[in-house]
Structure 1
Amino acid sequence: MEIEASGPCSRKRKFAGLGSLEAGAAPEGPTTGDQDQEPPPPPLNGDRISELPDAVLEEIVSLLPTKQGARTQVLASRWRRLWRSAPLNLDFRPYLFDKDAQDVIISRILAVHQGPGRRFCAPAYHLHGDRADAWLRSPALDNLQELELCSYTFYLPFPPATRQPLPAAAFRFSDTLRVATIGECHITDSTVQALHLPKLQKLALERVIISETSLHALIAACPALECLLIHDSTGFRCVRINSSSLRSIGVRGFCYQRGLKCLELVVENAPSLKSLLQLGSCGFLHISVISAPKLETLGYLSPDSSSRLVFDSTVIQGFKVDSFTTTVRTVKILAVEIYALSLDAVVDLMRCFPSLEKLYLQSDGPGKTNLWRRKHQNLIRSLDIRLKTVVWRYYRGIKSHVDFATFFLLNARVLELMTFEVHDKDYNDAFFAQQREMLQVDSRASRGARLCFTSDWSYRYISLDPSVHDLDPADPFERTQPLKADTNFMLCGNC
């Protein structure tokens, strides 16, 4: 977001001691007195931002990244006051590679900022020692709402091998926190015993060590918890979910635990749960859903035979339905990830989830034979295909892919949209014309169905570096931005 100055200003302002707007520190010059009390200049034609009350502008500033929020001080004296009193959004990441500058900048920001804390984001391994304790106890972070103590292995591929306990000063925010990401820490049993987080809505545990007893106690200490992400964490074998508030759960990377035959996630009682996501490699993960009456979203299912998903007496082993006696009619969104896409396997899954409306596919392999006209004739008569949306990443247009796609085009009577992400070399008129004929668009079962070919990413792939915020949307796989107009081609009947 860019904010333009509300009026002409000929004076140049610099940040004290750093000479750079990127430092996020206070500008040179008086900080109190008449200068800070100057009325804002009259707005230019079409400028509505300057007419907003201070409380609204402070909220806007607090949502900006640290550097951009600090830069608003140069706009006018009114904006300088706004940044100092707005809830502070302080993120270490822009300064990770220059520790000396980082310490100076962070200390200066905390010293000059007068408002409450909104968000504090820092690598966990850095927050040990007297200086870090002073930062966490700074009045500028009072009433903190979001705390992110992350590992940042993307920036530092070799984090410290020994995981330290959480900094003691981090616990002073327990009454106000709404979002907490804890990474590269050892959460001890004694720490969890005294912990209560009455307002926490989102919790992520990334590469932490925590015992099974403490993990369950931590979840129970968050009565308002809505989103839970457990990522590459160790110290436990089974996670049992009993929560009336949880709406979304994401798990990733349990295969790193040695000496354990399998890990279990058991959803015993989750009346509000809507999303259950397996993100990336979750080797030897067994998931059992006992009671989740509102569950709508599942993904990513993969052919890994070491993983198992159980609903009552229905057992899905890897990508194969081993036992089928109960249908799950609440599930409407399903994402699958498989190298060689198999129509037979997907059809079996649809029998388990007969109310499926959205299907997300990721498959870049050659695919199975996927012939269906004779093989599934009886099934087509009995299976009510309710799919409205199919999104396919890495569609190649080869025969096995075409056979898979035509099954839905010629049999899904309420289909609205099929989106295919294709390689750049296939994004051309000749490929589109060929696919129109091969996919039999004019014979589609749903006369309103449209096909969209795109070279842009066709849906959100959140497995690689998941965040607890990725779990929040009603459809976590749906793109938040529309496909680019210059990278998609719509195809429908009579066009």
Structure 2
Amino acid sequence: MAAVFEGMLEWFPRRRPPPPRTSAGAHSIAATPAADGVDRISALPDDLLRDVVSRLPVRDGARTAALASRWRGLWRSAPLVLSDADLRLPPAELEPARAAAAVGRVLADHPGPFRAVHLTHFSLASVERERDLAEWARLLADKGVQDLALLNDSSPIRGRRLPADILRCASLCRLFLGSWTLRDTTGAEVFNQLKELRMFSTDMSDGFLDHMLACSPELEALAVIVSRMPKRICLRGQSLQCMLLWMSAADELAVVDAPRLAETKASPSSIVPSVKILALRANFGVFKEVNMLPSFLRCFPNIDTLHIESAIDGEAMGRHHAKFWREAHPIKFLKSTVEKIVIHEFRGDRSEFEFLKFIAKHAKKLQALLLVLTREKFASAEEADKITHELWAIGGSKWGQQMFGVAVGA
């Protein structure tokens, strides 16, 4: 559990502690002049100096303008990196209004672009902060923020809506939202650069997540942590590779169109023990999908009902892959928990029957197996009888007489 929790923390913005205070008369190493008195740092090219300045805590970066005329315009021309942690120094850490005013001045004074803005250390719940945040959201959108974290540093807020302008930040590459109600997506941009979307303690409307996935074609990683979610989650995204669902309940999780996510290998970090009913689509005649299927199923060790739609799109059915299914390792839920398996659009192809042999060999607690035939197969009494006969030949005496069912698809 500790390893899993540590992994979850990686999805949170890194919080940098405030810089240490020095006693009167103390000197830092940076303030110590070179032995020969030559200022070699100021001789560096502007591009390199801007990169150095942008990596400093924002307070120190802004102060470099006072060093010399050579440094005067560097902070304003360097991409901004702002963490409110760098502004929480005494007495500001005791006065949220002063910290908020400092954030507002930085966002207004810097012309952009904003490389990273993390507002995670003070509450945004008051009326005053709501007005501040509305203005900050406008500035973030206008000045091209790339990495944005907005976390209310208080108990979860139910009813405090995310400012609409946040969803106008089309330049976003990473977005972390904590303790917000997520409802309206009117006017939201297409996030062509968004790679990571992380949400903590949020209250989502049914359409919010669907909209974000549809508007983020390059999204690779999605995390939903301790959040109130829609009952049905439909994962779509050609680039989506990783999803973390932590202490957030949904009645149904459907991987609708996420080919890179479907190739996930089972591991302690990818197992989803809470799923009881799983539905998926697979072409039993295509080896790439057949090879992926056991690995994907191992991510769901506690399934009691499994639905599989036997697909033929993409490539025609051909090989039956009997050797693969004979040598495939057992899957945990087949041995211990699954009670019902339904195969939809069943055509009676040899590749489908090879999968049924695998089930017959390993499904120890199976109580019901239903084959939903295509209309074409069901319309022919001869074809339906042939499928039923072969099904009994695979496992009839072992499974019992009340287990099998053959029906027509809708």
Name the TM tier (shorter chain). 0.5 to 0.7
Counterpart of 2:79 in structure 1: which amino acid? Answer: P
The alignment's TM-score, normalised by the length of structure 2, stands at 0.53
CA contact (8 A) 1:147 1:181 kept: yes
Spell out, residue by residue over 1:21-53, the C-alpha distance to the aligned partner (whole angstroms, 9 max, x if none): xxxxxxxxxxxxxxxxxxx9642xxxxx65543
Structure 1 residues 348-371: Cα deviation after superposition (integer angstroms, max 9, x where no partner): 9xxxxxxxxxxxxxxxxxxxxxxx
The DSSP-based 3-state class of the residue aligned with 1:254 is coil
Q: Counterpart of 1:113 in structure 2: which amino acid?
A: H
Deviation per CA, 1:359-394, whole angstroms, max 9, x where unpaired? xxxxxxxxxxxxxxxxxxxxxxxxxxxxxxxxxxxx
Q: 1:108 to 1:216 in 2, by over 3 A?
A: closer
Q: Select the residue among 179, 182, 188 that pairs with 2:177.
A: 182
Work out whether residues 124 and 152 of structure 2, in 8 Å CA contact, stay in contact via their aligned partners in 1.
no
- Report deviation, 1:107: 2.7
- Counterpart in the other structure of 2:238: 244
Contact 2:141 2:165 in 1 (8 A): no
Corresponding residue number in structure 1 for 2:370:
none
> Could you tell me how far apart the structure 1 residues matched to 2:295 and 2:84 are?
34
- Separation in 2 of the partners of 1:290 and 1:59? 49
* Large movers: runs of 4+ above 6 Å: 1-4, 276-283, 291-298, 300-303, 307-314
Q: Could you list the per-position Cα deviations for residues 427-469 of structure 1 after superposition, in whole angstroms to 9, with x for gaps in the alignment?
A: xxxxxxxxxxxxxxxxxxxxxxxxxxxxxxxxxxxxxxxxxxx
CA apart distance, 1:172: 3.2
After TM superposition, list the pairs within 5 Å mapping 1:256-295 onto structure 2: 263-273=251-261, 284-286=274-276, 290=281
Does the CA contact (< 8 Å) of 1:252 and 1:280 recur in 2?
no
Q: Does the alignment pair 1:232 with 2:233?
A: no
Task: Specify the SS of the correspondent of 2:185.
Answer: helix
In the TM superposition, residue 68 of structure 1 has moved relative to its aligned partner by 5.1
Residue aligning to 1:134:
135
Distance 1:139 1:266 in 2: 34
Deviations 1:145-194 (A, max 9, x none): 12212244xxx3x344x231211332331x21111112222222x42574
1:289 deviation in Å? 6.0
Report the equivalent of 1:171.
167
Partner of 2:119: 122
Q: 1:110 and 1:279, CA in 2 relative to 1: closer, same or farther beyond 3 A?
A: same
Residues 1:143 and 2:110 are matched in the alignment: no
Cα RMSD over matched residues? 4.8
Distance change >3 Å, CA 230–CA 7, structure 1 → 2: same
Amino acid at match of 2:168: R
Matches within 5 A, 1:334-373: none
Q: Secondary structure at the match of 1:129?
A: helix
Q: Does the 8 Å CA contact 2:271/2:300 hold for their aligned counterparts?
A: no
The equivalent residue for 2:371 is none
Equivalent residues of 2:221, 2:243 under 8 A apart:
yes
Query: Which one of the candidate residues 93, 110, 113 is aligned to 1:113?
Result: 110
Query: Cα distance, 1:109 vs. partner?
Result: 2.1
Paired-residue identity, %:
26
Q: Which amino acid aligns with 1:55?
A: D
Kindly provide the amino acid, as one letter, of the partner of residue 165 in structure 1.
R
* Structure with the higher helix share, 1 or 2: 2
Q: Give the counterpart letter for 2:78 in structure 1.
A: A
CA distance in 1, matches of 2:212, 2:175: 12
Letter in 2 for 1:224: E
The residue identity in structure 2 corresponding to 1:144 is V
- Offset of 1:104 from its aligned partner? 2.9
2:204 match: secondary structure: coil
User: Closer, same or farther in 2 for the Cα pair 1:238/1:91, shift >3 Å?
Assistant: same
What letter matches 1:172 in structure 2? R
For structure 2, the 5+ residue unaligned runs are 1-15, 20-27, 283-287, 310-329, 342-361, 363-410
In the superposition, the TM-score normalised over structure 1's length comes to: 0.45
Change in Cα spacing, 1:296 to 1:149, as seen in structure 2 (3 Å) is farther
1:282 to 1:192, Cα distance in 2 relative to 1, 3 A: farther
